[in-house]
Structure 1
């Protein structure tokens, strides 16, 4: 393995959190591996009390429950110490530019501790991965079918390739067992369209994803100030929001689905 050529320390870090909302959610664990220019490294991992309940569905993913962090320090209490450890470091992570760095910066701001990114370089290994190992149709055709996609982006060639890719995926993965987020064995890929639909269909109400289903199967808004709130509740408490969406630049499908929900609530009264 190549040794990184570093002019200053590079801090690789990863966060476990209560969820993925930068504004609403909080850090429950942070791990930092500080790679030094001399080839050595320092590791620090710490649980953090998020001062809010950890949703069960999130705990089932990362294995950290309320009980595990009830006696842990808050982020505010460790913030200054953490900035000292990261002093003079560039930052690296996996999907860090889109999630971990914004989340970390948000926590520092809430704690009132200065954490300046201006003089830091940031390296996101996921971006490199996606750039060097494309996940487009041509790459899938090469991987599953062992063939080069000729005339890419012509509708017919792409359609035939997609047909062959699905056949290749079923041939490769049918019968393969995986462990899901609940620790159960599942067989995700089956030679059955209904099963493939369940595997790949988005759990959204409208195609644009402005509304989605929560864990109870209820429609909730998936954007803006009402993100995560039940659509029926907002339609009742803030009728003007419906008018705003109907007049706004939202897809017709979104407006149609929103209207269906409104009409359904009216008939249920």
Structure 2
């Protein structure tokens, strides 16, 4: 029987079987075979000697229109490359699609007039630093099963893609100020400026709050139109079956910020990238 090994595999089927049958300690086996203790432990706790499948068990060849809009919006918010976006869609949202299927449904990124904005290591080499947060307000008209009117507040640091989002059933200037304070406390970058996409009524007191922190404020009057979702969220986001939208949103943001290293960030997560810059490493 021919077994195809993973490209980065450090063990053969014979070594894996030897690990499973040996009475030696993990450290002894690692030293003997020239592999890590983690690798030894991984194969000692498995019954099979073949690599596990990395593709989803159930792969959907087609997506709902609402799901297509969602994944494109998620890509625009995070700026995530395809592989990182696939992880967010499969694991974060529970939408089981293949890499090829996801890529097929992504809309082309429209480059800005002077080209796409630089990110990560390329941006640093060009002299850019992470000093800005873009903060947005998106009104949501959800299905009655999901509570009707809600408000999505989300922010992004454009150089790293680090993001922060929360979902609320109501909205007020006081809530926006509290959310901005939580955002600034969570962001690992040395933020000097905040650009908001909020109406005047929701920015009462924001200028004073930011000024007290030594942060400049620019109001962008290109506001987001309300988004209407005509079907229950559980039909769009399978993971909603066992979780609330608010908690799931927070988990997805945390997973993206700290979960998977990105090549454009020097093999670091957005969180680690910004923390490293702030420490001056």
TM-score calculated relative to the size of structure 1:
0.23
